[in-house]
Amino acid sequence: MIDFTRKDTLTPRERLTALIACKPIDRVPFNPFSMGFSARLFGIDRGEFYRNPEKAFAAGLHLMETYPWMNCRPSYGWADRGSWEFGGKVIWPDNNRFIAPGSEPLLHTPQEVDGLADPDPELAGMNPLIDRFNALNRRHGFPASLPGGTPTTLAAGIVGRSTFLKWLLRYPEAVHGLQKKVTRFLLRTAERTIGKYGAGNCSVFCGVPMESNQLIPVEMFATFAKPYIREIFEFYRSAGVVSVVVHLCGDHTANLAHWQDIPLPPRTVFSIGHEMDLEKTSAAIGKTHILGGNVNNQILHRGTEEDVATEVTRCLTAGMKHPGGFILMPACELPPDTPTENLEALAGTLSERGYYQ
């Protein structure tokens, strides 16, 4: 295992605190964005990890202990939300058959949207599991998680992704009606969490997969997604939430200008997929925000150690130029079956090339 202690002058917590405060740091932090990998390292099935937030939290602590050079904390949640929260069915990844939980579509016609009842945020879907995970987070000094999935992503989960993309063209009013219901649910959930823990003790991880330009053009982002994302972040800003990560999953290059109109707090982390260019994204978000990314997951999962070293070097060379600061991250969740040798190759490259002094 690579020994960072010979060069490090800051602890992981000190490094992240200094980065957020725009102060000099010794080296680039690495956030693994790990859940399924944490389950594997801890020796539990992914179905067990996601059904049991206490075990997920323990797996996150185990990851921190195993790789103390990382900047990480226990992580929990999944992207395919919406259907379960509004009364549909969740599909658990038992026997590691999927990377994360999935769901079955709940609605099949646009006429069903008006009759969709508002769920109880205390009982709906994964909310009770997140509540248990948040209690552990706060007990150990970590922030509580606020709902961060975009309304577009949850709405797509309710009707199915392919159906949702068709509805954008054929039934735009139904899409807006569904987006409003989902936005209302996310805001009610956020109000509960902030009321319990305080805005300063909460953080947001906003995953943005459905708004990728590989799925919808920028004009649809501006019409169907941006207004609802903006409404949620206006609430977070008024409540005093300051810790935000925006994960742009896929290619969002054409949408970047629109994110400048969304009221994000200073020092928001923009984590990007491998499809996006680090230097172009750096220019778009400016020095106010932190850049994160974007090690190709396929290389982490299936590449050689040499491939990993080359890919990490690419990320560091571009990312360390960003005036707002840089966090090395996978392009999306760390693949659960990433070979430990490839993670060591990443660490070795970070140790060789990731120091600022």
The pLDDT of residue 225: 97
DSSP label of 355 = B
By the 10 Å C-beta count (0-12 exposed, 13-18 middle, 19+ buried), 43 is classed as exposed
The pLDDT of residue 198: 98
| pLDDT over 90 at 1, yes or no | no
The pLDDT of residue 172: 98
Arithmetic mean of pLDDT, 225-234: 97
Question: Rounded to whole angstroms, what are the CA distances from 141 to 68, 197, 339?
Answer: 17, 12, 31
| pLDDT over 80 at 213, yes or no | yes
Arithmetic mean of pLDDT, 247-261: 97
pTM comes to 0.96
147-169 confidence digits (pLDDT tens): 988 999 999 999 999 999 999 99
| pLDDT over 80 at 357, yes or no | no
For residues 209 and 151, is the Cβ–Cβ distance under 8 A?
no
170-207 confidence digits (pLDDT tens): 999 999 999 999 999 999 999 999 999 999 999 999 99
- Token look-up 């921190």 returns 64
Structure tokens at 331: 């392009």
303-329 confidence digits (pLDDT tens): 999 999 999 999 999 999 999 999 999
Residue 244 half-sphere exposure, CB side, CA atoms within 13 Å? 25
For residues 320 and 355, is the Cβ–Cβ distance under 8 A?
no
Structure tokens at 254: 């054409």
70-125 confidence digits (pLDDT tens): 999 999 999 999 999 999 999 999 999 999 999 999 999 999 999 999 999 999 99
